[in-house]
Amino acid sequence: MRAKSVYHMQIPLIAANWKSNFTYKEAEDWLNFFKGKEISGGEIVVFPSFTFLGEVGHLINEYSLPFKVGAQDLSSFDQGAFTGEVNADQLKDFVEYVLIGHSERRKLFNETQEEILMKLDKAYKANLKVILCISKIEELDGVSLDNLVIAYEPLDAIGSGNPESAEKANDFAKEIKNKLDGARVIYGGSVDQHNVSGYLEQENIGGVLVGGKSLDPQSFLEIIQNAG
């Protein structure tokens, strides 16, 4: 095993992107699983659907879990006549983090780079911590904010069981850091309990964004344990 660099003295960020999964009851069961379990070794953020962000936060407090809450998206507009949108001011009472530009939003909902830049601006002004998802370096065009977390998620690795190699992901993470000084880079795309440590051993990777395997609490617990 490669010696960990000083950079890795920073605890890894472990993000659970639930996507459009779980009813409230299922989310409650998921959180309940972690009650009383030994959980350490990472900054852990769960990203539920909008409808129960507040409730998930309450349960995390009630069960004394070391988890933070994030939203999977936010509006590119402020408050106003934007039916169906959830804006940064509405989110900031409930979440610390927000995901922006996930490839599913870029592809399935035709989210443009311009909209993503607007969302970044809204999140930044509301003091939300951002995880900006990208799959290619051009998706950093126009991005100039400090303290960003960039999730590198190669398209064919997402949900496929076919993750990118840790070395390749590390090379890309280095490219991101060269372009965006000070960014923290995490990797996403078929991360599981067996491959997570390989990513976190890499010099330029400071965390993971987990989709599918975050839905099964036992797998996610093992990811946390193997990350520490």
153 is catalytic: yes
Q: 190, 193, 195, 204: which one contacts ligand PGA (CB under 6 A)? A: 190
Secondary structure (DSSP) of 108-159 = HS---HHHHHHHHHHHHHTT-EEEEEESSGGGGTT---SS-EEEE--GGGTT
**Residue 211 in the binding site for ligand PGA (CB under 6 A):** yes
Cβ distance to ligand PGA smaller for residue 75 or 190: 190
Report CA dihedral (141, 18, 215, 167) to the nearest 10 degrees.
10
Cβ distance to ligand PGA smaller for residue 49 or 90: 49
Cβ distance to ligand PGA smaller for residue 31 or 209: 209
Tokens linked to 74: 């936010």
**Residue 159 in the binding site for ligand PGA (CB under 6 A):** yes
Residue 58, helix vs strand vs coil: helix
38 is catalytic: no
Which residue's C-beta sits nearest to ligand PGA?
211
Catalytic residue numbers read 102, 153
What residues line the site for ligand PGA (CB under 6 A)?
A: 17, 153, 158-159, 188-191, 209-213
